[in-house]
């Protein structure tokens, strides 16, 4: 019987069971596929509550997103306005201002809450 996950031991057992279920060819709407779906929800909730993923550093987020979009640092200069500004920001010498955060959020789809963090 499925129960809420309340501690690390139960979490690890749920992960092990989910892994077992993922190794078999599940039929849609079967007892096992329903069990896997419910386990996944329970695992996700436990991780959200007890194992949160920290937000990335704003500079690392910008660099990662540029890489994902296959964009160059020169294209970042176009977004921010000046080449020297881009260099200062990526080196940590200059902080992002509100206008830059808005542009980066719009052009690179980086959430503003990631960009406004202290770094």
3-state helix vs strand vs coil in the chain, percent to 5:
65, 0, 35
Per-residue pLDDT of the chain (119 residues; tens, 9 = 90+): 789 999 999 999 999 999 999 999 999 999 999 999 999 999 999 999 999 989 999 999 999 999 999 999 889 999 988 777 888 999 989 999 999 999 999 999 999 999 999 88
Task: Determine phi and psi for 57, rounding to 5 degrees.
Answer: -60, 140
Tokens for 76, please give them: 């970042």
Domain boundaries for CATH 1.10.260.40 within the chain: 58-115
The pLDDT of residue 117 is 92
The whole-number pLDDT of residue 119 equals 87
Pair 86, 62: CB distance under 8 Å? no
The CATH number assigned to the domain with range 58-115 reads: 1.10.260.40
């Amino acid at each position: 019987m499925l129960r809420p996950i309340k501690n690390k031991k139960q979490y690890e057992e749920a992960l092990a069971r989910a892994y077992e279920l993922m190794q078999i060819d599940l039929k849609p709407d079967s007892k096992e596929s329903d069990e896997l779906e419910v386990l996944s929800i329970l695992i996700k909730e436990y991780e959200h509550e007890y194992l949160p993923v920290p937000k990335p550093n704003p500079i690392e987020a910008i660099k990662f997103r540029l890489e994902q979009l296959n964009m160059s640092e020169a294209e970042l200069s176009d977004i921010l306005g000046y080449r020297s500004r881009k260099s200062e920001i990526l080196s940590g010498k200059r902080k992002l201002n509100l206008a830059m955060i808005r542009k980066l959020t719009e052009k690179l789809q980086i959430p503003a809450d990631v960009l406004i963090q202290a770094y």
